[in-house]
Amino acid sequence: MLQSTKQEKITTQHIFHEEQLEGIDFNSIPKHVAIIMDGNRRWAIQKNLPYELGYVKGAERLKETVQAAMELKIETLTVYAFSTENWKRPKEEVDILLDLFKEYLIAERTGMAQHGICLTTIGDVSVFNNELKEALVQTRETTKGGDKLNLVLALNYGGRDDLLRAFRRIAQGCVEEELQVSQISESLIDRYLDTAEFTDPDLLIRTSGEFRISNFLVWQLAYTEVNVLKDYWPEFSSEHLLRAVNNYIKRERRCGI
C-alpha cells in the first residue's frame, strides 16, 4: 500500500503572513476556484523519482492549498483529481492513484471536520472499489456540517459525461411527462449537472503549462477566468494561489458584455 510521506492533519498554523494579505479586497475574492492539478508524473520523472512519488507530493500540495484557500476566504475549491480518461493509464498506476485517494480521505477526515471543511464529489463514483466508496461515504458524512470551505473532488469526472448524464435525466423526465420540452433552459440544465449545488467557478487554475481544459467542467467554465502556470502541480504553493487570486481581482470581468 502506498503511504504518504506526511499524514498530519490540517493545522491551525497560518500559511500566510499578515502582510501578505494586506490590501486584498476580500469582497472581490473568487468565491469558487477550480484547479486542474496537472504534471505529477512529469515532475517525478524530471527529478528521476518513481512516478508514484509525484502523486504523493501532489496530495501534500492539495493539503496546503486547502488551508490557503480557507485563509483567503474562498468558499468552494474544486479539484480535478481523476478524470474519465484516466482509466486509460496502466492498471498499476490507476490502482496507486485510487489507493492514495482512499488514504487521503481517511487521514484528513477528522482534520477537515474540525476545521469546517465540507467534502463532496462530482463524477460517477459508483465504479470505484468498495473500500474507496466507503471512505468517500464516511468522509462526506463526517464533514457534512463544514461551513468554512466546500472541497469538491472531481473523481471519475468528465465534463462531457456530466452533460450526457444530465441530458439523459432530462430526456427521461420528458418521457415520463415530469418535464416539458419548453421547460428546458440553461438554468434547468444547471440543476441536472453534478455541480448543481455550487455556483460556476470564478477562476480556473491549471498547472504544467497546458492551455486546455481537458474535459473539465465543460459547461460550467463558460465565463471563468483562466490562469495557466508553467509549474507542475507538486511545485504549486500557497504563493501561487495568492498570485492567481490577486491577478483575478485585477481583471475586468465583462462576461460577454
Does residue 19 lie in a domain region?
A: no
Does residue 146 lie in a domain region?
A: yes
Q: Is 48 annotated as catalytic?
A: no
**pLDDT of 212 over the 80 cut:** yes
Burial 7-18 (b: 16+ CB within 10 A, else e): eeebeeeebbee
Does residue 15 lie in a domain region?
A: no
What per-residue confidence (pLDDT) applies to 256? 62
Does residue 109 lie in a domain region?
A: yes
What per-residue confidence (pLDDT) applies to 17? 87
| Predicted structure pTM score | 0.92
Per-position DSSP letters for 127-174, written without gaps between them: GS-HHHHHHHHHHHHHHTT--SEEEEEEEEE-HHHHHHHHHHHHHHHH
Does residue 153 lie in a domain region?
A: yes
Q: In what order do the strands lie in the sheet with 149-157?
A: 117-122, 149-157, 76-83, 32-36, 203-206, 225-228
Q: State the burial class of residue 204 (Cβ atoms within 10 Å of its Cβ: 0-12, 13-18, 19+).
A: buried
What per-residue confidence (pLDDT) applies to 7? 41
Residue located via cell numbers 479586497: 25
Q: Which of 27, 48, 86, 156 is catalytic?
A: 86
- In the three-class reduction of DSSP (H, G, I as helix; E, B as strand; rest coil), residue 206 is classed as strand
The three three-digit cell numbers of residue 125, written as one number: 463514483
CA distance 54 to 37: 11
Does residue 40 lie in a domain region?
A: yes
Q: Residue 33 forms beta bridges with which residues? A: 77, 203
pLDDT digits (tens, 9 = 90+) for 91-133: 999 999 999 999 999 999 999 999 999 999 999 999 999 999 9
**pLDDT of 61 over the 50 cut:** yes
User: How many C-beta neighbours within 10 Å does residue 4 have?
Assistant: 17
Does residue 144 lie in a domain region?
A: yes
Q: Is 38 annotated as catalytic?
A: yes
Q: Which of 27, 38, 130, 162 is catalytic?
A: 38
φ, ψ (nearest 5 deg) of residue 206: -125, 130
Tally the domains of the chain.
1
Provide the domain limits for residue 122. 28-158+201-250
Question: Do 68 and 149 contact (CB within 8 A), yes or no?
Answer: no
Question: Do 122 and 154 contact (CB within 8 A), yes or no?
Answer: yes
Does residue 194 lie in a domain region?
A: no
The three three-digit cell numbers of residue 232, written as one number: 507542475
CA distance 202 to 69: 14
What per-residue confidence (pLDDT) applies to 1? 38
**pLDDT of 8 over the 80 cut:** no
Looking up residue 217, the CATH number of its domain turns out to be 3.40.1180.10
